[in-house]
Amino acid sequence: MSEKMVIAFIGNGRSANRYHIPFVRTREEKIRIKTICAPKSAHDPWKKIPGVIYTEDIQVVLSDPEIQVVVLSTPSSTHYALAKQVLEAGKHCVSEKPFTPTRKEAEEIFNLAKSKGLMLQCYQNRRFDSDFLTAQKVIESGKLGEITEVEVSFDYYRPEVPSDPAHVYRPYSGFLYGHACHTLDQVISYWGIPDHVQYDVRQLLGEGRMNDYFDVDLFYGNMKASVKSSYFRVKARPPFTVYGRKGMFVKAVKDKQEEHLKMFYMPGQEGFGKDKPSEYGTLIYYDENQIYHEEKVITEPGDYGYYYDALYETIMHGAPQLVKPEETLAQIEILEKGIQLLK
């Protein structure tokens, strides 16, 4: 087996070229992108990568014995069928999120992967958002004491919502599936599968329109973690607020990687994804002597490429996979139950 992990992408759109490929290319000493397959690859607007094979024929990927892992960076409605094809071809598979519309479909392809001795994993890059990593650092410092409540928000202000799907209700392509797939995974990855879940999932535009709001509460004993999002917040809520018995932590500015990627400012460039001091989070707490403290917390560096570092260790050295099947299944079950509340 080659010292490098050899991968291929199915899909060559914004997801592949913004959230995957730039990070893989900073790790070329251990990961090689051999092939990218897309239906109209000859006309894709994204700049071609030297040395990479571009094809419109999926069999070029599936029949290549050198390719070890196939990454699905395609619309979520295609993930289930494509993952089955990849696994049947004897290759490990990474699928973008939302992973599948239903838990039943996810269970089927996880069982298929297990039966073939292959790895199937959801791409959960948001585990490596700087705000989430910084919140973890604060929690683990112990300065907040017992954690009682966590709020994770992902807001927009988009009064001019797109005509499609704004005027049509499509259960699996709305806001809950499209955005809670990030934040629910953050909560589940850190605190585990919740004891129980409560939902407030809405269509602010009206019945029969797109899902544009959700507030999902996950309970862990005495602690509650709330995952919130809305299309109509003129001022976004802080992405992370953590409350403990001794204090609180607020990170008012979200991870900068996505913002920088949208400006074609790439990983590896000086300052990529980094906060300014004015964007650091604030920690407020009382110490053991009941002395009040209010201080800034330097933001932990985020890097979506950490996902690929973990993937490399799993494929090449047999390390446990980063995103466990049971975590993905739990997340999909929460999404599926939440969207069933709408019409």
Q: What is the pTM of this model?
A: 0.94
d(CA 255, CA 266): 14
Task: Give the pLDDT band (50/70/90) at residue 166.
Answer: low
Q: Which two tokens stand for residue 151?
A: 């709020």
d(CA 217, CA 227): 6
Q: What are phi and psi of 178, to 5 degrees?
A: -75, -25
> Helices in 69-205 by DSSP H: which ranges?
79-88, 103-115, 130-141, 163-166, 175-191
What per-residue confidence (pLDDT) applies to 150? 98
- The 8-class DSSP code of residue 18 comes to I
Domains of the chain, first to last: 5-123 (3.40.50.720), 126-305+334-339 (3.30.360.10)
Task: Give the pLDDT band (50/70/90) at residue 106.
Answer: very high
d(CA 173, CA 98): 9
Amino acid at 173: S
Instruction: Give percent helix, percent strand, percent coil of the chain, each to the nearest 5.
Output: 35, 25, 40
d(CA 188, CA 259): 25
d(CA 217, CA 194): 9
d(CA 193, CA 47): 41
Whether residue 126 has pLDDT greater than 80: yes
Mean pLDDT of the region 31-48: 87
Contact (Cβ atoms closer than 8 angstroms) between residue 229 and residue 180: yes
- What is the share, in percent, of the chain residues with pLDDT greater than 90? 85
CA-to-CA dists, residue 32 to 21, 36, 127, 202, angstroms:
10, 12, 23, 43
Task: Give the pLDDT band (50/70/90) at residue 162.
Answer: low
Contact (Cβ atoms closer than 8 angstroms) between residue 31 and residue 310: no
Q: Which two tokens stand for residue 224?
A: 């509650």
pLDDT tens profile 133-143? 999 999 999 99
